[in-house]
């Protein structure tokens, strides 16, 4: 083992020296934004990062809209919801984002994306904007199922205390499938 590490070995050609290091006056966040490619900065990335100022700038300049969809029908509201960016969600909703837009591999709504992670404040905001928690994704799960899977107690209690029948749509879908496949 001692022959693997020799404290008296000469410096390797790749060692860091004071001459090889250059400093900058950039903070980490400035460097992060500087390295981002201009083509990468779009409303989806801004929503994913929760950058409300950039979202506002993109919408007001006409470069984007709150209702934009990517190639999987994912909206900026989906990205803001899954990352628990409440302020970004609120702004997108104020700008006309479709609260029950379905997109992604699971054809899920922004509330379902938030419910998977147990994001109470996002769920509350979406419910207050008339999101339908009974919509099911391609796996047949509604928001109650997903928030239960997240193991988050408060969002689960919140959904259970809503004046809606979360099972209504599931029961209707089961009845319809029984009629098709007796």
Nearest to 136 by CA among 97, 180, 174: 174
What pLDDT is attached to residue 25?
53
Decide if 90 contacts 98 (C-beta within 8 A): no
What is the pTM for the complete model shown?
0.72
Per-residue pLDDT of the chain (182 residues; tens, 9 = 90+): 555 555 555 555 555 555 544 544 544 444 445 445 555 689 999 999 999 999 999 999 999 999 999 999 999 999 999 999 999 999 999 999 999 999 999 999 999 999 999 999 999 999 999 999 999 999 999 999 999 999 999 999 999 988 876 555 555 445 445 554 55
* Torsion, CA 100, CA 101, CA 103, CA 107, rounded to 10: 40
Domains of the chain: 27-180 (1.25.40.20)
Q: What pLDDT shows up at residue 39? A: 52
Write down how long the chain is: 182
Residue 164 pLDDT: 73
Per-residue pLDDT at 163: 82
The answer to whether the CB of 72 falls within 8 A of the CB of 107 is: no
3-state secondary structure of 67: coil
CA dist 85 and 77 (Å) reads: 9
- What CA–CA distance (Å, rounded) separates 124 from 93? 13
Under a CB-based contact definition with an 8 Å cutoff, are residues 80 and 92 in contact?
yes
**For the CA atoms of the chain, what is the radius of gyration?**
24
């Amino acid at each position: 083992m001692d022959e693997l590490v020799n404290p008296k070995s000469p410096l390797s050609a790749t060692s860091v020296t004071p001459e090889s290091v250059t400093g900058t006056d950039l903070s980490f966040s400035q460097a992060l934004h500087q390295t981002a490619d201009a083509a990468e900065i779009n409303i989806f990335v801004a929503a994913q990062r929760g950058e409300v100022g950039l979202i506002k700038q993109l919408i007001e300049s006409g470069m984007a809209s709150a209702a934009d969809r990517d190639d999987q029908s994912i909206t900026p509201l989906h990205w803001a919801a899954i990352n628990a960016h409440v302020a970004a969600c609120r702004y997108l909703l104020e700008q006309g984002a479709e609260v029950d837009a379905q997109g992604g591999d699971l054809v899920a709504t922004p509330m379902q994306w938030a419910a998977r992670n147990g994001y109470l404040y996002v769920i509350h905001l979406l419910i207050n904007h008339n999101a339908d928690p009974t919509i099911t994704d391609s796996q047949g799960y509604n928001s109650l199922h997903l928030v239960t899977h997240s193991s988050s107690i408060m969002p689960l209690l919140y959904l259970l205390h809503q004046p809606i029948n979360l099972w209504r749509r599931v029961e209707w879908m089961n009845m319809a499938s029984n009629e098709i496949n007796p």
